[in-house]
Structures are given as C-alpha cells and as structure tokens.
Amino acid sequence: LSHRILFESCPLCASKSIALLKTADCTRHPLYKPSMPPAINWMRCTPCGHVFTDGYFTLEAQAEIFSHTNESQKLGADIERQRQVAARMIEKVLPYVREGTWMDVGFGNGSLLFTAQEYGFTSVGTDLRAENVEMLNGLNIEAYCADLSQVSLKTKCNVISLADVLEHMPYPAQGLQACARLLDDNGVLLISMPNADSMLWRVLDVNNANPYWGELEHYHNFGRKRLYALLMQHGFEPVQYGVSERYRACMEVIVKKKV
Ligand SMILES: [Zn+2]
C-alpha cells in the first residue's frame, strides 16, 4: 500500500531536477500509526532551492491521519492563552485593514476567528476537520469543510489568514491563486509558517532537535526568501515581516495584492 503520491517535479517551479536531501524519522509524531512508512524523504529542487517531501498523502492515508485530532486542534482548545496570541496577530493587521470579512483557512481551534470577531470583523472559516466545521456553524459562524479552491463567497474577504497552512498544501500556488480570487483588492493576507532561513532553524538542526523534518502534516520547508519569491510570482507583495508566537521558528508575514 502506497501512502504518498510522489512529486515528479518541484511542486513550486516544476523543474524535474530534484534530489534527495535527507530522510527523517517520523515514528514519534503524535499522528503516526505503525501502518505508515517510518520515515519522510525530503527533496531539494536544484534550480529554485525549494525543500519538500517526496510526495503527498493519498486520500486514504489523509483520512487515516485526519481520523485523529490533536488536542491543540480542537475547537476552543487553550482558549484563554490562544486569545492573547490571536490578538497580537490581529493587531499586526489593523494598520492595513480595520474591518470587514476575515477568513481563516484551516481555523483549527478557532481562536483567530473568535478573536477577529471580538475586534469587529465578520469571521468565516474553512477546515478539513468536519467536526470542527459543524461546531463552528453551531456557533453561527460561517464555516466550510472544503479545499480553498472550492470555496466561493458572496463578498470578497478583507483579510485571509493562512496560519500554518501553506506548508500543508501539496501545491501551495493553488492556495495562493484561490486567495487572489477571494481577497478584496485592498485586502491583506496574513501568512505564518516555519522559516527555514532563520538562525533558530539552523540551531535546531545542529542540535538534532528540529521538529519539522519529522512533521507528518507538512509537505514543505519554506524559508522567507522562497516564500517571498512565490508570493511575488502570484501577484502578491509582502509588506511586513514578523516572527510568530504560534509555533517554533515561525514567521508571520503581511501580504498585499500587487498594484
Ligand atoms: Zn523548484
């Protein structure tokens, strides 16, 4: 039984010049099951330098992984502390956008949506975990259990947050194309993910303590440089860099549509 559909070329630039970078153990990951391969193969694209897994999960393998939800991904998890973290994310956005519709992609525990609502935004969410979507609908918040490319809304979004989301998508460019369609021309994206260009990432590597090589749910290890190039290629322009408090070694970037 094959768990992954292999990338035949770089998922960002489509070059076929890709080579194995390293193999990492994933058996200590909380979502790991003994029926899965015990290691993740990480590839590197020669021309663009992007680092990605050798393939993405089949629908069956994905269903197996999504049959379990981490405590931190449950709706309302750690709500009091998460509200503080979410508030600091929202305050980074306020200089650019003060009101309107805020869509959070992969809303997880919901803290960003709940807090955006407190700040006066209309919250909309998408998530791949049906249980979370039903619970959010039950709280009168518009939510969809769908891939971003399938989502269509009555009005354009003023903010779309992709908090630790793009690195989970087999083809991140497709996610960005959906955002370009759903975002108002004066809106912003808030994007967070680990930054493989950071010194902290290198320190974690040297100490053999980098959790991201064994992260079952990630297909990509972006650095700031490769992320910015991808954004520029898809009609976006990063306007503010920051570090993220959500996960280790993460960056948090505010992005506008290119005029
Ligand atoms: Zn490439």
Cα(235)–Cα(232) distance, integer angstroms: 5
Quote the ligand 1 centre to 22 CA distance (angstroms). Answer: 17
Residue pLDDT, tens place only, 182-197: 999 999 999 999 999 9
Residue type, 198: S
Task: Give the pLDDT confidence score for residue 35 in this predicted structure.
Answer: 87
Quote the ligand 1 centre to 150 CA distance (angstroms). Answer: 26
Task: Give the pLDDT confidence score for residue 67 in this predicted structure.
Answer: 77
Quote the ligand 1 centre to 166 CA distance (angstroms). Answer: 16
Q: Which of the residues in the chain have pLDDT under 70?
A: 1
Cα(251)–Cα(198) distance, integer angstroms: 9
Indicate whether this model's pTM tops 0.85: yes
Cα(95)–Cα(157) distance, integer angstroms: 16
116 contacts 86 by C-beta, under 8 angstroms: yes
Cα(27)–Cα(229) distance, integer angstroms: 33
